[in-house]
Structure formats: structure tokens, C-alpha cells
Amino acid sequence: MHLMGRLATITLLCLVLAVPARAATLLRDADIEHSLSQLARPILAAAGLSPSSVKIVVIKDSSYNAFIVDRRHIFIHSGLLLKMKSAAQLQSVLAHEAAHIANGHITRRQQNARAANTIAGLGMALAAATAATTGNADAASGIGAGISATAQRLFLSHTRAEEAASDLSALRYMISAGVNPQAYLEVLDIFRGQEMLSASHQDPYARSHPLTRDRIRAFKAQVTALNGTPKPDPKADYWFQRAQGKLSAFLRASSWTLRRAPKSATKDIRLMREAVAHHRKPDSAKAIATIDRLVAMRPKDAFAHDLRGQILLESRKTSAAVAAYKTAANLAPKNALILGGYGRALLVSGQHKSARQVLEKARARDATNPSLLRDLAMAYAQLGQTGMASVVTAERYALIGRPKDALIHAKRAEGLLPRGSASWLRAQDVISASKAAVNKRN
């Protein structure tokens, strides 16, 4: 799945309270998520967290915010990512959120939220955590993502004590990772003016992360006491420029991107940005010519081939797209998003059996991707396996917060699949979760 034309709008299945859910649009892109993982790796390691177990996920939202809802995901708004001026600034945000995880704040807030009966469910993030801890991705796929507005205000709020503790922890992580802690102060300054606004006009980050003058002053004193500061890591800057460059190319006007692309940090980032901009205009000829130059420059870069596959597929050059995605999948055989793109290309080309096989591999690594589930259901339907098509469709509807539709398709699957089989049990999971959600809403 990629940014252009593949944005997954995910809403909450209300598991505790029947309250309206706020839609959250996730920007799932293999290249961007890989770049963010490279930036987060030294920070997470310094925090004593497994870099491979914590995923950085981007939400399409112009406001400045970052938060956690479990121990396995850090969510960051696209507006905040685009606002950052350096890799160190972004890493300071990641360090702060990692500190909340490492310090156990998420566990305490989950307990408080359940006691107050205000959380409507933790959605995609906790579904993924459930799959990781229990090994049952099938059951987890029946849970939606998102947090109700009321729940978010309480669940994502931090006490001043938590913030002070996270400040100190983040400082330690940044020093250990060789990241200049001055960047932390630069980020705090971005939000300093938010405290003077009324609550209705404050940015979500300011409301959930109280930024007091005392906190800033205390952190500044800690930074001043340090003996020297690390120099910027060129590798970190590259990954930051790559993530921010691709995100802005997809979200901002093509003319804006083409004016600024020549000033990109490296030639490959420039070509990537220009290829996306030409594709969005749309100018297929220039987009393909540009992405071909990028692939020639970086033939072993799976994400360059992945983007090439997307551009070709959306330019209706299906055979070439399949070949491009196949190369990307061979270079990154464990990347669920790349496998999902490859499966979609195979599906469009009419290779339904191969599409099903590839998409099942992708689903085994990420069962919470609605677009992937849609493509997989289509592959099963084309192969005449209506029971499997129904159960996968049911899971997709459950995931995007449409329990009534999920219930219809799960019941259909129940009647078509062998009783007691793994797929039949998946249908039972969706039926149980969907009935509960429907009852809550009624």
C-alpha cells in the first residue's frame, strides 16, 4: 500500500461505550515507515525497547501531535512531521513518546481509562499488540482503530509528573543515541505559544502534553550542564529528508514540490520527489522517466522499485508494474506493504491465484490493513472461494468500523465454510465482536 490512492480511513469499533468515533486516516507507506524506523532505532534502543517491536505510524492530520496508545506504536501527525526542521527535532519527539512507553505511563493510563469507563476501545494499535502477544492475528483483525473524542482527551492526557519524568528520560536517550538534546528545546518552543490560547484553539499536542515554563527551564538547565553536544548524524539527516520529502510530495501541490525538489539533500531524494510530483499532476511520461532514473541509480533499493510499481500500476501499465513490484518484493520479502502492492498488481493483471498467495503472505504480517483485505477478498472471489471471500470481507468491515456489514458477511461465511475450520472460527470472532458493537450502538 502507498500514499497515493491508498489511504486507509479507520474508525473505532465501540467496545465499551456507544460513543461516536473520530476517523483516523493512516498514511501507510513502506518507504516512509522504514525511514522513520531508522530514525527511531537508536532512540528506542537507548530506552531499552526493541526497535523491531515499536512501529512509527503517520496519521493524516495537519495539527501538531504525537501520542501512544500501547507499547508497540508511536503515532505522529503528518503536520508535525512536516513541521520538523531536522532529524534531531523529530527524534526528540520520538524520544519523548518512547519515554512514556519505557516509564510505564501507558499501563497506568489504560487502567485509569478502564476504571473510568471512558475508553471506547484502542483499535488498530491494540489489535496489533494482541496479535503480537497472542499470535492470533485472525481475532485481532476484527477490531477497529481509533479513539473517541471523549476518550482521547482523557486517555492521552499526561500528568505534569509524567511529563517531567519523560523529559529527563528523553534527555538520557538522546545523549545515549548521539542526538543533540538542543533539538528538544527547539520542539518545545514550537508549542510554547499554545499555552496562551484557549483550550478550543490549542493544538492537540499542547492539550495532551502540558508545556510549562518550569519544564522548559528545567530541561534547559540540564542541557546547559552537558559537556559538549553531538554533531548531527548524516545518516539520520538522510532518513529524515527522505521521509519528509516523500510525505510532502504526496500531500502538497505538485508545483510546490517541483520548485523545492532541486534543493533536496541528495539526488535520489530529489528524483523520488519529482517522480511523485509528476505522477500526481498527472504526467505519466515524466513520472516514469524520472522513477526509472531513480531505479537505475539505486537498483538495490526495494522502496524505489515499490514506488516505480505504484506509478506504473496507476498509469495502467500493469505488466511492467507486476515486474517492478516483484523486484521490490524480492529485495524486501518480509515487508507487508510491499507485498500488498505486489498482490494488488497481480490481481489487476488477472493472476488471481498468485495474487491470493502473495496477499496471504502480506496478511500474515499485517492483518490490520483494510486495503489489503479488500484485495484479498477480491482474489478469493475471482477464484470461486466465496466462503473465504466473505470472511475476509467481514474482517475488513469490522476493521473500518462497519459492524452491521461485518455481521452480514461473517454470517454468510459461517454458512459456507467447514464448521470448526480456522476460517470458520475467524468468522465466529467477527460475529461476536460485531454483535457486541451493534448492541452498543443501539
pTM, whole model, 2 decimals? 0.82
Edge-first strand listing for the sheet containing 24-27: 8-10, 24-27, 55-59, 73-77, 66-67
Cβ distance 93 to 187 under 8 Å?
yes
C-alpha cell at 298: 539505486
Mean pLDDT of the region 345-367: 96
Mean pLDDT of the region 99-127: 53
C-alpha cell at 348: 489487476
What pLDDT does residue 374 have?
Answer: 96
Q: In the predicted model, is pLDDT for residue 10 greater than 80? A: no
Q: Domains of the chain, with CATH numbers?
A: 8-201+212-224 (3.30.2010.10), 253-298 (no CATH)
d(CA 173, CA 178): 9
What pLDDT does residue 116 have?
Answer: 37
How many alpha carbons fall within 13 Å on the CB side of residue 294? 28
Sort strands 66-67 and 55-59 into parallel, antiparallel or unpaired.
unpaired
Residue range 248-275, pLDDT digits in tens? 999 999 999 999 999 999 999 999 999 9
What pLDDT does residue 218 have?
Answer: 74
Cβ neighbors of 53 (< 8 A, separation 6 or more) are: 71, 72, 132
The SS3 call for residue 372 is helix
Cβ distance 28 to 336 under 8 Å?
no
Beta bridge partners of residue 58, listed in sequence order: 27, 76
DSSP tally for the chain: helices H, then strands E? 23, 5
Residue range 176-213, pLDDT digits in tens? 999 998 898 888 887 766 555 555 555 555 555 555 56
Residue 435 burial (10 A CB sphere; 0-12, 13-18, 19+): middle
What pLDDT does residue 199 have?
Answer: 54
Beta bridge partners of residue 203, listed in sequence order: none
Q: In the predicted model, is pLDDT for residue 313 greater than 90? A: yes
